[in-house]
Chain A
Amino acid sequence: MSVRVALHSRSFLERGLLLLVILIFLEGTVLTLGAASSPDISAQDNTGGHDHLDDHRGIAGSHVHPNYTKKAFPVLSLDYHHIQVPFEISLWVLLASLMKLGFHLIPQLSSIVPESCLLIVVGLLVGGLIKLAGEEVPPVLDSNLFFLCLLPPIILDAGYFLPIRPFMENIGTILMFAVVGTLWNAFFVGGLLYAVCQIEGTYLSQVELLPCLLFGSIISAVDPVAVLAVFEEIHINELLHILVFGESLLNDAVTVVLYHLFEEYSGAGEVTPMDVVLGVICFLIVSLGGIAVGAIYGILAAFTSRFTSHTRVIEPLFVFVYSYMAYLSAEMFHLSGIMALIACGAVMRPYVEANISHKSHTTVKYFLKMWSSVSETLIFIFLGVATVAGPHAWNWTFVSVTVILCLVSRVIGVVGLTFIINKFRIVKLTTKDQFIVAYGGLRGAIAFSLGYLLDKNLFPMRTMFLTAIITEIFFTVFVQGMTIKPLVDLLAVKKKQEAKRSINEEIHTQFLDHLLTGIEDICGHYGHHHWKDKLNRFNKKYIKKCLIAGERYKEPQLIAFYHKMEFKQAIELVESGGGVKLPSAVPSQVSMQNIQPKKLPPPVAERALPQFTKGREEEIRKILRSNLQKTRQRLRSYNRHTLVADPFEDGWNDFILKKQRLIELEKKMTEMSNYLTVPGATPDSPTMCRARLASGSDFKAEKGGAKVIPDPNAFYNIKASSDGVPTIQVDLASPQSPDSVNMLNEFSKRGATGQGLGQREGADRDEDQGLMMKPAGKGEKGEEEGGNKNPGLMRCLSDPGPSNEDEEDEPFLP
C-alpha cells in the first residue's frame, strides 16, 4: 500500500491534470447534452448567457431557425441535428468511461465508497448541471433503452461467465430464494403497504391493493447489476456470492410474471382464483420458456461455431448475436429475457470455447467485459440523472414505510427460508451467511425501469412510486452497499481465495467426483453425483460430438484444463520477455530432474564446457536469436495458411508440441554449448544422451522416438506414434551431473525467454529475410521440422493474450 501511495503522490501532478481534463470534458458533455436534448428550449432563450452555453446553443439553434439567405460557402454549414443522436450516445459513453478511469486514479476513495455509489453521484451532478444550465434533463433511463441496450450486456456477461459448478450445486437454495423469497417479499411489502396506506392521516387512502402489490413486486426483486457491482468489490466467498447473485438472476422470471399479472389485473379490476392458478402456470411458462429459448439459441450458437474455422474474424460475433437474439426472442413473448440470456450463455460456453480460436475467445471475453462495464457505468450514471430529472412526489410515510418493509421482509424471508433449506442442505448456511444474503439484497435500475414503464393513466400514483423506488435503490446501494464491506470484515466472513487453480486441485476435483459417484453406486442409491455423472457421459458421448469440431470433443476435462494451464504458462513465458523472474515460477524453480525418481551415475568422460566466457555467450545468443527469427518467419507464413485451413486437426497435441518445442530449444542450447566449437559429435555420445535426458527424457522416451533414431536431426522429430516400448532405461544410463544440469537449467530459462522474444521479434520483422545457416544448424532444422508439423503451435505462442504491447526493447542481452 505504501508503495502505491508513493507512486500516486509522485504522479499527483499528472493525476490532477487528468482530472482537470475529465472535468472539462464533463462540463462540455453536460452542456452539450442538455442543449442538444432540447433544441427548442435553447433556441427560445437564446439571448445571452455564458460562453460555453452560447456556443452550444448556437449550434443547436442554427438548425432550428435555418437561415435562408445564400451562403458564401454552401458546402460548409453546421448540421448538428444530423449527427445528434450518435454524437450524444458517444458523449455519454465517453463520460462513463472517463468516470471509470477517473475513479481508478483515486484509490483511496474507491476503497471506501463502492463504484456504483460514485457513479450515481456523478449522475446526480451531471443532472444537476444540466438543470442549472436551464435545460430539460433528458429522459436518459428510458425503459426501452434500458431493457434493449443496457441490460443485455451485463446479463450476458454474467451468464457466460456463470460458475456453473457452484451454481448447480446450490440450485435448490438459489431457486428457493429467487422464487419463494421474491414472492414473499412482494406480497409482504405490497400487503403491508396497503395496510399502512389505509391508516387515516397519511393521505394515501386512494392507493388500492393491486397497485400496492404491483409496487411490491417491482421493489422486491434483488437487482443483478447492483449486486454484481457491490459483490465484485467485497470478494466474498464463492458460496455466498453465487447465492445472492444467482437469486438476483433467477428472480427475474418471478418479477416479470408478477409485474405483468398485476398490471393486467389493475386494468381489469377483478381477480378470481382462476387467475391465481393461471399466474402460477404463467410463471412456469415464463421461466421455463425463457430457459428453453436461451438453450435453443445457445445450441445453435455452439453448432454454428463448429464451422467457423475458416472465418475466424467473425467468430465472436456469433456469440453476441445469438445471445442477443435469444434475449429479444424471449422478450418478444414476454418470457424472461434474463433467464434466456443466462441459459444461452451458459449452454453455449463450453462448446464455443472448444471451437473458436484462442484469439476469438479473448475477443469474446474482452467485449463482454467491456460492454458490461460500460453498460453498468451508464446505468448508474443514468440513475443519478433520472433522479434529478424525474418529477417527484415525496410522501414521507410511503417512502419510509417502503424502506423499512423492504428490510424487514428481506430479513424474515431469508431467515425463514434458510430454516427450511438447512433441513435439506448438507453444507448448512450459518447465521453470518444468512446475514450477508439478507443484507446483500440490493435493489437497482431494473426496478426503476419497471416503475418507469407504468402507465400514468392507469396508475396516478406512478410518480410517488418512482420516488419511493429511487429512494429504496439509493438506500440499498448507498447504505447497504457501503457498509457491507466493513461488515464482512467485522464478521470475518470467509473470503474468496484468490489463488489460481492448481493442477493438483483439478486432479482432485475430478478424482473426488468419480470417487463420490463410486461410493454412491456402492451405497446403491442414486444421489446427485450419480446423475451428474450420467449427464456428463451423455454430454461427452452425443452432444459434444455434434457441437464440437474435430477431435477435441474427446478431450476429457482434466486434459483440457492441463492444456489451458500449459497454454497460460506459455503465454506468461512469452510475455515475461527477458525478465529474470518468470511468472509461472513453479515449473521453473523445480525441474524434472528433481522429481524424476531415477538417480543417475556421475558423468563419465568429457565435462563439456560448463562455463562460457561472456563473449561466447553473447555470440550464442545472437546466433540463436537470428535463427529463431528465421524459423519464426517461415512458420508464420506457413501457419497462417494452415490455421485457416485446418486449425483443429491437431487439437490437443498442439499444446504438447508447443511444449516439445520449448524442450527442443532447451536442448539445442545445451547442444550448442557443447558443440559450438566441436562440430559433428556423434549422436550417441554421452553428452548427447545427457542432453536428451536432461531436457525432456520423460516425454521423449515415452514417445518412443528418442532411442531408435540415431540422427540428432531426426531426434527432434517427435511422433505421437507411441509404440509402447519403454526406452527410458537406455536414456537414463547416460551420465548427468549436477553441474551440467545447473547450466542447463539456466539455459532453458533463457532459452525459453529467448524463444518468446525471438518469436515476437520475428513476427515483426520483414518476412523476406533469408534463412541463415549457423553453427547450430542441426537444432534449427529440428526446430523447423517441429514447427512445421505444428501449425497450431503458432497460434498459441503468437497469442500473447490481453496485454499485447510490444516488448521488443526488452533486454534479451543483459
Chain B
Amino acid sequence: MGASQSAGTEHEFQDLADRTGFSLEQIGNINKRFRQLTNNEETLSREDLASIPALDNNPIRAQIINAFFDKRNLHQNETGTVQEIGFEEFLLVMTHFRPAAMGLTEEERENLRREKLRFLFNMHDTDSDGTITLEEYRWVVEELLSKAGIIGQETAKAIADAAMLEVAGTTRGKMEPDEFYEGITFENFLQILKTFDIETRMHVRFLNMDTATLRCGKSK
C-alpha cells in the first residue's frame, strides 16, 4: 500500500507544485505539517488550528484562522466559509505568503501586489460585501490591540476612526458633511497602501527553499 500511496502523492505533489509555484520539498514540508496538525486526517478543522499553542499569543489569531476557511482565499468565486479544508486548500492559502521572485515585470509585480493586498482585504472584510465598513475596521484594530488590555480597547475605536477618516480623506478628498463614506473598497484599499511595499514584506520563509526551482508567483 505504501508504495502506491507515495507514488500517488508524488504525482499529486508535482501537480500542486506546478499550480502553486512551491517546490516539491516545500510541499513535502507543508504536507508534513498539515498531517501533524490534522492528526493524519484528510481535512483540517478550525479546532486543529486553534490548538496550536504558539498561536495563543497572537492577537489576530481568530482572523488568521478564519482566513484559512474563507472561500474567497481558496480561489473560488464564491463567498462564505467552509468548515474543513483539505491539503490543497491549505496550500492555496499558503501561496499568498510566497516571496516575490526575481525579475518580475511591472505587471506581474502589480498582480502580486493586488493578490496579497486582496488577501488582507478579505481578512478585514468579514461580511464579504466588498467594503470594509467602519465597524469592521474597528474590529480589526480592536483585535490587533486585544492583548493590550483595557487601554487597547479604549483607544482602538479612536484609532480605527482616525484611520477611517484618513482613508476617506485620501480617497475622496474634501467631503460635504452630509455625504457618507460607506467603507473602504478594494480600490481605496490599494490606494491607501500605495506606499506600503507589500510585495516585499508579506512573505514567510518556507523551509527547504530551493531558489532554482522557484518560479515567479503567478498562481492560476
| B162 on the A face (CB < 8 A) | yes
Residues of B within 8 A of A722 (CB): 154
Say yes or no: A516 contacts B97, CB within 8 Å: yes
B23 within 8 A of A: no
Indicate which residue in B68, B151, B176, B195 contacts A505 across the interface (CB closer than 8 Å). B195
Partner of B205, one of A527, A594, A702: A527
A520 to B206, CA, bound (A): 9
- Chain B contacts of A515 at CB under 8 A? 60, 63-64, 120, 123, 202
A522 touching B193 in the complex, CB below 8 Å, given contacts A427-B99, A511-B144, A586-B165: no
Residue of B nearest to A722 (CB): B154
User: What sequence of 0s and 1s flags, for each residue 137-174 of chain B, a beta carbon within 8 Å of any chain A beta carbon?
Assistant: 00011001101110110110111011111111110111
Segment of B3-11, B12-20, B69-77, B177-185 engaged in the interface with chain A: B177-185
Q: Give per-residue flags for A169-196: 1 if the beta carbon is below 8 A from chain B beta carbons, else 0.
A: 0000000000000000000000000000
CB contacts (< 8 Å) of A522 on chain B: these are 33, 37, 49, 52, 55, 64, 68
Q: Mark B112-150, 1 if CB is under 8 A from A, else 0.
A: 000000001001000000000111000011001101110
CA distance A396 to B63 in the complex (A): 68
A590 touches which of B134, B154, B172 (Cβ 8 Å): B172
Q: Are B172 and A512 in contact (CB under 8 A)?
A: no
A426 and B149 form a contact (CB under 8 A): no
Chain B: CB-nearest residue to A525 = B207
Does A232 count as interface, using CB distance less than 8 angstroms?
A: no
Question: How many residues on B have C-beta within 8 angstroms of the other chain's C-beta atoms?
Answer: 76
Interface: B92 (CB within 8 A): no
For residue B94, CB closer than 8 A to chain A, the reply is: yes
CB distance from B62 to the nearest CB of A (A): 10
Whole-angstrom distance from the CB of A534 to the nearest CB of chain B? 9
Question: Contact at B94–A592, with CB atoms within 8 Å?
Answer: no
Enumerate chain A residues within 8 angstroms of B49, measured Cβ to Cβ. 522
A-B contact count (CB 8 A): 198
Given contacts A512-B202, A559-B151, A656-B155, contact A503 B162 (CB under 8 A): yes
A585 contacts partner chain B, Cβ-Cβ < 8 Å: yes
**What separation, in Å, do the CA atoms of A520 and B58 have in the docked complex?**
11
Q: Are A699 and B163 in contact, CB atoms less than 8 angstroms apart?
A: no
Q: Which of A681-709 contact B (CB under 8 A)?
A: 698-699, 702
Give the residues in chain B near A82, CB-CB below 8 Å: none
B200 interfacial by beta-carbon distance below 8 Å: yes
Query: Which one, A427, A519, A565, contacts B64 given CB within 8 A?
Result: A519
Chain A interfacial residues counted at CB < 8 A: 68
A555 and B151 contact, CB distance less than 8 A: yes
B162 touches A562 (CB 8 A): yes
Listed residue (A521, A537, A555, A745) with the most chain B CB atoms within 10 angstroms of its CB: A521
A504 in complex: contacting residue of B33, B54, B166, CB < 8 Å: B166
A518 with B177, Cβ < 8 A, contacts A499-B195, A503-B163, A698-B161 known: no
B203 on the A face (CB < 8 A): yes
Q: Are B94 and A559 closer than 8 Å at their CB atoms? A: no
- B135 to A516, Cβ gap below 8 A? no
In the complex, what's the smallest C-beta–C-beta distance from B78 to chain A, in angstroms?
A: 23
Flag A506-542 by CB within 8 Å of B: 1 or 0 each.
0111111011111111111101111001000100000
| B28 proximal to A (CB < 8 A) | no
Asked if A514 contacts B195 (CB within 8 A), the reply is no
What per-residue 1/0 map shows which CB atoms of A732-775 lie under 8 Å from chain B?
A: 00000010011011000000000000000000000000000000
Q: Confirm or deny: B36 has a beta carbon within 8 angstroms of a beta carbon on chain A.
A: yes
Distance in angstroms between the alpha carbons of A556 and B161 in the assembled complex: 18
A residues whose Cβ falls under 8 Å from a Cβ of B: 423, 426-428, 497, 499, 502-505, 507-512, 514-525, 527-530, 533, 537, 554-556, 558-559, 562, 565-566, 585-587, 589-597, 599, 652, 656, 659, 698-699, 702, 720, 722, 738, 741-742, 744-745
| 12 residue pairs bridging A and B, Cβ less than 8 Å apart | A426-B200, A428-B102, A503-B162, A504-B192, A505-B193, A555-B151, A556-B147, A559-B151, A587-B166, A591-B165, A597-B135, A742-B176
